[in-house]
Homo-oligomer: A and B are copies of this chain.
Amino acid sequence: MTAIADLETPCVLIDLDRVEANLKKAQAFADAAGLKLRPHIKTHKLPRFAKRQLELGAVGITVQKLGEAEVMADAGIDDILLTFNIIGAAKLARLKALHQRVTIRVVADSAASVDGLAAAFTDPSHPLGVFIECDTGMGRCGVQSPEGALDLARRVLAAPGLKLAGLMTYPAAGKYRESAQWLADAKALFDREGIVLPEITTGGTPDIWHADEAGVATEYRPGTYIYMDRSQVAAGAASYDDCALTVLATVVSRPTENRIIIDAGSKTLTSDLLGLTGHGYVLGYPEARIVDLSEEHGTLDFSASASKPNIGDTIRIIPNHCCPVSNLFDVVNLVRGTELVETVPVAARGRVD
């Protein structure tokens, strides 16, 4: 077998045992909370892990873009929630093609979005499921009030080729209680109006261990939980020992006693800070700080670290945010301990549209 140490750097390592543990822990937690689990594949972008999530009990997957849905449908995955407004003729045509071959549902948060879907989907015998996207505190997409959700739901119900799938939200990290209250208020309003909400779906890894407090929600959509990362450790959702994705890098320069330059920069680790200071956590050197990234160089300050690597040594880094790291690599290396198991293409990488 190939040892990790023999891989060319920079590259991505995925610890299979940690992946398995993370998937099982979240599935068990969701089961105990009586929630369906619908993992977001944006983190791993790998059909094999999507299938493993389904094997372990997930009811389907979540994707963010049509291109991701197409890759996963091609891989044989049948139940897909696309949590993005689909706007415009070209994208509606792609959505129709997917709807012909798999179970796919989407979200809408405006009359314009619903009207576009209603014009494209007109067959009452095979309607498209549409969730109303709700802004429960994130400040991104979504209707702004339960009344807004009700109005938009009526618009979906009035379209013969659409069916109301329920409510969908992505809560702000740390605001799960406010989000749960918003959804509860909306559910009460829909109940009063006698409108059935088949599902109420929420998500987010930062608050995944509070999913049991999600109130009226019936489904949870975590993404990052499969790999975890430095931002999730900072949020209290994981420990470094849970982190399954690391970047393997080589020390290429040590211009001063404490300045170490590695061959991994923003083209590898991304510039995502997510509120953190520094660009990742260096395994084995807890006092090292990744102080700067250019595209191909990472600049590390080892002033506070008694132990320092030498030129040619490799180090492993837990990135701030693992999801966009997956998107930067054509392949990732699946490992077990210090051995390479398999190098696999990141099938849904770069599917931006």
Contacts and interface: CB of A to CB of B under 8 A. Distances in A.
Nearest to A296: B64
A50 interface: no
B84 A263 contact: yes
Contact of A261 (B10, B88, B140): B140
A39 interface: no
A255 B11 contact: no
A144 B255 contact: yes
Interface in A89-119: 90-91, 109-110, 112-113, 116
Interface stretch (A73-81, A229-237, A269-277): A269-277
Contacts of A256: 144
Contacts of A259: 139
Contacts of A251: 87
Interface residues of A, number: 62
Contacts of A294: 140
A268 interface: yes
A203 B84 CA distance: 42
B87 A311 contact: yes
A180 interface: no
A36 B251 CA distance: 32
Given A270-B270, A327-B328, 9 more contacts: A65-B296, A87-B311, A110-B254, A139-B292, A140-B253, A267-B324, A270-B271, A295-B324, A295-B327
Interface of A: 6, 8-11, 42, 64-65, 84-85, 87-88, 90-91, 109-110, 112-113, 116, 135, 139-144, 250-256, 259, 261, 263-264, 266-268, 270-273, 292, 294-297, 299, 310-312, 323-324, 327-330, 350, 352-353
